[in-house]
Chains A and B, each alone.
Chain A
Amino acid sequence: MAIMLAVIVLGFLGMTRLSTEMMDNTGWTEDLKNELAGVEAELASPDLTEEEREQLEMEKQGLEESIVYSIEAGEPEVRESVITEGYGITALVTLLTIIAASGIVATEFSQGTIKMLLSRPVKRWKVLASKYAAVLLFCLLLTTLTFVMTVIGAFLFFPGSTESTFMFYHIELTTTSFWGMALYLMFLAFINSAVVATLAFAIGTIFRSTSLAIGISLFLYFTGLLVVMFLEKYGIGKYVLFANTNLTNYVTDSPLLSGMTMPFSIVMLVVYVAIFLGFSFWSFTKRDVAA
Chain B
Amino acid sequence: MELKPVVELRDLSKTIGAKKIIDDLNLSLYPGQITGFLGPNGAGKTTTIRMMVGLMEPTGGDVFIEGVSLAENFEEGLSKVGVIVENPEMYKFMSGYKNLEHFARMHDGVTKERIDEVIAQVGMQNRIHEKVSTYSLGMRQRLGLAQALLHRPKFLILDEPTNGLDPAGIREFRMYLRKIAEEDGVSIFVSSHMLSEIELMCDRIAVIQNGRLIDIQDMSATQESHYYIEARPLDATETLLTAEGFTVESFKEGFIVNAEKEQIPALMQKMTTQELQLFAVQPHRKTLEDQFLEMTGGGQIAEAHTK
Which positions in A face B, CB cutoff 8 Å? 111-113, 115-123, 286, 288-291
User: What is the interface size of chain B, counting residues whose CB is below 8 A from a CB of the partner?
Assistant: 27
Distance, CA A28 to CA B56, complexed state (A): 74
Q: How far is the CB of B13 from chain A (nearest CB, A)?
A: 14
Residue of B nearest to A291 (CB): B307
The interface of chain B, by Cβ under 8 A from chain A, is 50, 53-57, 74-79, 81, 83, 85-92, 103, 106-107, 147, 307
How far, in angstroms, from A162 to B103 measured CA to CA in the complex? 57
Pick from A111, A121, A123, A289: contact of B50, CB below 8 A: A289
Q: How many angstroms from the CA of A286 to the CA of B57 in the assembled complex?
A: 8
Distance in Å: Cβ of A25 to nearest Cβ of chain B: 50
Q: B92 contacts A111, CB within 8 Å?
A: yes
15 CB < 8 A contacts A-B:
A111-B89, A111-B91, A112-B87, A115-B89, A116-B85, A116-B90, A118-B54, A119-B54, A120-B78, A121-B81, A123-B74, A286-B57, A289-B50, A289-B56, A290-B50
Chain B residues closer than 8 Å to A123, beta-carbon distance: 74-75
With a cutoff of 8 Å between Cβ atoms, the chain B residues found around residue A291 in the complex are: 307
Q: If the complex has contacts A112-B87, A113-B90, A116-B103, are A290 and B56 also in contact, measured as CB distance less than 8 A?
A: yes
Q: Bound state CA distance, A210 and B146, in angstroms?
A: 29
| Minimum Cβ distance to chain A for residue B97 (Å) | 15
Sort A-B residue pairs by CB-CB distance and give the 7 closest, nearest first.
A112-B89, A121-B79, A119-B53, A121-B78, A288-B56, A289-B55, A120-B106
Please name all residues of chain B whose beta carbon is closer than 8 Å to the beta carbon of A121 when the two chains form the complex.
Answer: 74-79, 81, 106-107
Q: Chain A's interface: helix, strand, loop or mixed, by majority?
A: loop
> A118 touching B88 by the CB < 8 A rule?
no
Task: Please tell me if the beta carbons of B55 and A288 are within 8 angstroms of each other in the complex.
Answer: yes
Q: How far is the CB of A254 from chain B (nearest CB, A)?
A: 47
Q: Which of A117, A119, A288, A291 has the most CB of B within 10 A?
A: A119
| A122 CA / B86 CA spacing, docked (Å) | 21
Interface of B is mostly: loop
B85 touches A119 (CB 8 A): yes
B83:A119 contact, CB within 8 angstroms: yes
Q: Which residues of B have CB within 8 Å of A290?
A: 50, 56, 307
**A123 CA / B92 CA spacing, docked (Å):** 24
Q: Tell me which residues across on chain B come within 8 A of A115, comparing CB atoms.
A: 55, 85-86, 89
Q: Which residues of B contact A122 (CB under 8 A)?
A: 75, 106
- On chain B, the residues within 8 Å of A120 by CB distance are 78, 103, 106-107
Report B114 CB to chain A, min CB distance, Å.
16
**What's the least CB distance linking A44 to chain B, in Å?**
77
B85 / chain A contacts, CB cutoff of 8 Å: 115-116, 119
Cβ distance B36 to chain A, nearest Cβ, rounded Å: 20
B70 to chain A, nearest CB (A): 10
CA distance in complex: A119, B80 (Å): 11
18 more contacts with CB within 8 A, not counting A288-B56, A291-B307, are A111-B89, A112-B89, A113-B89, A113-B91, A115-B55, A115-B86, A115-B89, A116-B88, A116-B89, A116-B90, A118-B54, A118-B55, A121-B76, A121-B78, A286-B57, A288-B50, A288-B57, A289-B55
* Bound Cα distance A111, B85 (Å): 14
With a CB–CB cut-off of 8 A, which chain A residues contact B79?
121
Of chain A, the residue at the smallest CB distance from B89 is A112
The chain B residue sitting closest to A124, CB to CB, is B54
Within the complex, what minimum Cβ distance (angstroms) separates A86 from chain B?
32
Give CA–CA (A111, B56) in the complex, Å.
Answer: 18
Cβ contacts under 8 Å, B87 to chain A: 112
- For the complex formed, measure the closest distance between the CB of A73 and the CB atoms of chain B, giving whole angstroms: 48
Q: How far is the CB of A118 from chain B (nearest CB, A)?
A: 6
Q: How far is the CB of A88 from chain B (nearest CB, A)?
A: 33
Q: Complex: how many Å from CA A111 to CA B78?
A: 23
Chain A residues contacting B83 (CB-CB under 8 Å) are 119
Shortest CB distance B265–A (Å)? 57
On chain A, the residues within 8 Å of B91 by CB distance are 111, 113
